[in-house]
Amino acid sequence: MSSSTLSPAPAGLKKRPGSKKRSWQGLLYATPTALFVTGLFVVPIIVVLIMSASDWSLLGGNKGTNFPKNYVDVLDHRMFWDAVLFTLKYTAIATILLIALGLGLALLVQESTRWKGLLRTTFLIPSALGLASASLLFYALYSPQVGPISAFFEKIGLTEGRVSVLGTPDGALWATVFLIVWRFAGFYMLLLLVGLQGIPGDVYEAARMDGASRLQVFGKITIPLLRPSLALSTIMCVTGSLLAFDQFYILTKGGPDGSTMTIVQLIYNLAFESKRDLGLAAALSVLTLLALILINMFQLRVLRGSDEK
Amino acid sequence: MKSSPTNWLARTPYYVLTGGLAIIFMSPLIWSAISSVSPQPGSAQVDGFGFGNYITLMNYQAGLPTYLGNSVVISVLTVIFTLVVTTLGGYAFARFTFPGKNLLFLLTLSILMVPYATLLIPLMVTLKAMHLQNSLVGVALVLAMFQLPFATFMMRISFEAVPKEIEESALVDGCGTFGALRRILLPAVKPGLITVGLFAFLAAWNDFMAPLYLVGSENQPLPLALVNMRQQVMGVIDYGSTQAGVVVLALPCVILFLILQRHYVAGFMSGALKG
C-alpha cells in the first residue's frame, strides 16, 4: 500500500501514508452512489415535506403553502381511520399466519434430503413471481366466471350460484390473505430456515439426553434460539403488510364499499382518483413514513433488546 | 434416517402432509398455465385447446411486443445502473477512506427505512424536474435506487472478503486502482454481482407500482399493461388473456429462479444474516 504513493499525508490525521490520494479516489468511486442517494432519495424526501405543506393539485401544480391544512384534512378524511384500522387488522392477520406457516414449513424441510430439497423449491417458487402477477393469477382464480374456487363454494352449497369471492368485505379480506400467504410463505420459510440451521446440533442432543420431550425442545430451545430470525421476519412482515398495495389495487381496489382500503391505497386514491390532490396525498405519505419509522424503532427495541440479556 | 419398512410406515403421514402442501403450492401456477390454453366463454379460446388467448394478448392495444419490450428495457437498465453504481460504491466503501464515507453509507442504508409507496409522489415531481417524466430511464433509475441498500451492502461485503494482498501486488506492479478493480477484483466478486443482478432483475421485471405512478400508457411494462387490460373491459373481463399474460410474466422468473436457485438462496442468506 505504502509503495503506491508519493504524496505526504498530514501525520496523525490519516492512518497511513498515501491515504490522501486514496481518499480522493474513494470519493470518485462513491460519486455515483452519492448522486443516486441525493437526487432520488434526499431530494424527494425534502420535496414530499414541501408538498405536504402546499396546496398542490394533480393538474394545477403548486399553488403555494397551506400548512397545516393538508394534515388537518387527512386526519379528518372520512376514509382515514377506517383505512388505518383495516391496515392494522390485515397486518395482524397476515403476520401471524405467515410467521406460523413459515416456521411450520421450515421445520418440515429442515434436514437436507432430496425430498426436502424438492419441497423447499416447491414452496419457494411462488416467491419468484411478482406480486402483481400473483394477484392477477388469483383474480382469475377467484372469479365467478372461470375460477374454480367460486365453483367449489357453489357446489358445497356455501353460496347461491356463482358469486365472486371478492364481493363481500370478509371474502375480499380472506381471499387477499390467502394470496399473500401463498406468495410469501416460502420466503419466510427460507428466512427461518437460516435461523434454524444456525442452532448448533449439540444443544439439541444435550436436551434429548436430559429426557426433554419434542414439545419441550421446541418451546425451550428452538423458539428462544430462533429469536433473532423470528424478530427479523416479524419486522419485515409487519412493514410489508402495513404498506400493502399491489394485491389490494388488483384484487379489490379498496372495495367492496371501501372495506379493504389500505393506507397506501388511500394515498393513491387521494393523489389520482377521488381528490387528485397531491398535497393531501403527500401529507398522508409523511404521516405514514413517520409512523413506520416509529413502529420499526419500537419493534427493534422490543425484539432485540430482550435477547441482549 | 435409514429407510427400514417400519420407518417408512411411520413416516407416511409426513409424506402425505408435505406432498399435499407441495400440491397446494403448485396448483395455482399449474391451473393458470392450463387455463391459459383451455376453452373459456368470453375469451378468444372458446372451444378446444389452443393459443387463442396468447394471440389476443399479442394484439392487445400497442401489442405484447411493445409491453414486453418496455419490461425488458426497464429491467436491463435497472440491472446495469445497480451493478455499476454498487460495484464502484462497494469498492469505495470497502477499500477507501474519504470524507463523508460513513454518512453516505448510512444514508444509503436508510433508504430501507423509507417506504417506497411514500416516495413515489415526490419522485414523480423530481423526475419531471429532471425531464425524465414518463420515461423508462426514469423508472429504471428509481428502481435502481431502491436496490441500493441491499446491493451496496452486498458488494461491500464481497469486496471486503477479497484479501488485500492480491490487489496490493497489482498496485505495486503499476496498476491503478481502477485497473486493479477491473482485472483483479471484478472476477473475485462475481458471485456478489450475480446475486445483486438477479435481485435487481426480478424486482424490476415484477414491479408494478413505480410505472403506475411514473409512466403513461405507451410506456407501460407488461404487469401494468395487464392490470389495465383487465380494467378497461369492465363487465366482460377476458380472463383467458389475463392468464396468458400471467404465464408470459411468470415464466422467465420461474426459469431464472430454478437456474439460479443456489445463488438466490445464498445471496438471500447473507442478506438476511445482517438482521
Cross-chain Cβ contact A232/B275 below 8 Å: yes
pLDDT band at B4 (very low <50, low <70, confident <90, very high): low
Interface A–B counts its CB contacts (< 8 A) at 270
pLDDT tens per residue, range B19-66: 999 999 999 999 999 988 888 777 777 777 888 888 888 888 888 999
Q: Is A153 left (phi over 0), alpha (psi -120 to 50) or beta?
A: alpha
Nearest to B27 by CA among A141, A188, A213, A80: A141
CA distances from A284 to A255, B78, B244 (A): 20, 29, 37
- Which chain A residues touch B22 with a CB distance below 8 Å? 118-119, 122-123
- Which chain A residues touch B26 with a CB distance below 8 Å? 122, 125
pLDDT for A304 equals 67
| Cα gap A268→B124, rounded to integer Å | 13
Cross-chain Cβ contact A293/B148 below 8 Å: no
Mean pLDDT for chain B?
Answer: 87
Cross-chain Cβ contact A4/B171 below 8 Å: yes
Instruction: Indicate the SS3 state at residue A152.
Output: helix
pLDDT for B238 equals 81
Q: Are the beta carbons of B267 and B154 closer than 8 angstroms?
A: yes
Whether the link from the prior residue into A224 is cis, omega within 30° of 0, is no
Nearest CB to B253: which of A129, A143, A282?
A129
- Which chain A residues touch B99 with a CB distance below 8 Å? 23, 27
Nearest CB to B254: which of A128, A191, A292?
A128
| Nine cell digits for residue A113 | 434430503
Q: Chain A residue with minimal CA distance to B222?
A: A133
Find which of B80, B118, B172, B243 to mutate to test the A interface (most A CBs within 10 Å of its CB). B118
| Nine cell digits for residue B199 | 435481485
Own/partner long-range contacts of A92-98 (Cβ < 8 Å, ≥24 apart)? A93/A173, A93/A177, A94/A177, A94/A180, A94/A181, A94/A237, A94/A241, A94/A244, A95/A234, A95/A237, A95/A238, A95/A241, A97/A177, A97/A181, A98/A180, A98/A181, A98/A184, A98/A185, A98/A188, A98/A233, A98/A237
Nearest CB to B104: which of A34, A129, A249?
A34
pLDDT tens per residue, range B137-190: 999 999 999 999 999 999 999 999 888 888 888 888 778 888 888 888 999 898
Find which of A22, A137, A183 to mutate to test the B interface (most B CBs within 10 Å of its CB). A137
HSE toward the beta carbon, residue B273, CA cutoff 13 A: 11
CA distances from B188 to B84, B155, B162 (A): 16, 11, 7
pLDDT band at B274 (very low <50, low <70, confident <90, very high): very low
For residue A220, give how far its alpha carbon lies from the nearest alpha carbon of chain B (Å): 22
For residue A173, give how far its alpha carbon lies from the nearest alpha carbon of chain B (Å): 19
Torsion, Cα A54 A55 A61 A63, to 10 degrees, reads -90
Nearest CB to B107: which of A37, A131, A243?
A37
- Is B95's pLDDT higher than 70? yes
Nearest CB to B28: which of A124, A182, A250?
A182
Interface pTM, i.e. ipTM: 0.88
- Is B273's pLDDT higher than 50? no
Tell me the backbone φ, ψ of residue B62, rounded to 5 degrees: -70, -10
| Cα gap B219→B73, rounded to integer Å | 10
Tell me the backbone φ, ψ of residue B221, rounded to 5 degrees: -80, 170
Cross-chain Cβ contact B122/A51 below 8 Å: yes
Nearest CB to B85: which of A1, A32, A191?
A32
pLDDT tens per residue, range A119-128: 999 999 999 8
Q: Are the beta carbons of B40 and B239 closer than 8 angstroms?
A: yes
Going residue by residue through chain A, which has 309 residues, state the pLDDT in tens, using 9 for 90 and above.
Answer: 344 444 444 444 434 445 666 788 999 999 999 999 999 999 999 999 999 999 999 988 899 999 999 999 999 999 999 999 999 999 999 999 999 999 999 999 988 888 888 999 999 999 989 999 999 999 999 988 888 888 888 888 777 777 888 989 999 999 999 999 999 999 999 999 988 988 888 888 888 888 888 888 889 889 999 988 898 899 889 999 999 999 999 999 888 989 999 999 999 999 999 889 999 999 999 999 999 999 988 888 877 665 544
Q: Are the beta carbons of A130 and B208 closer than 8 angstroms?
A: yes
| Cα gap B157→B143, rounded to integer Å | 22
CB atoms within 10 A of CB A309: 4
| Cα gap B135→A106, rounded to integer Å | 42
| Nine cell digits for residue A309 | 440479556
Q: Say what percent of chain B tops pLDDT 90.
A: 53
Torsion, Cα B245 B249 B251 B254, to 10 degrees, reads -140
Q: Chain B residue with minimal CA distance to A15?
A: B97
pLDDT mean over B124-132: 94
Nearest to B111 by CA among B157, B140, B153, B158: B153
- Which chain B residues touch A122 with a CB distance below 8 Å? 22, 25-26
Tell me the backbone φ, ψ of residue A64, rounded to 5 degrees: 100, 170
Helix extents (H) in chain B:
5-37, 52-59, 64-95, 101-110, 116-129, 136-160, 164-172, 177-180, 186-188, 190-206, 209-214, 222-232, 239-259, 261-272
Question: What number of residues does chain B have?
Answer: 275
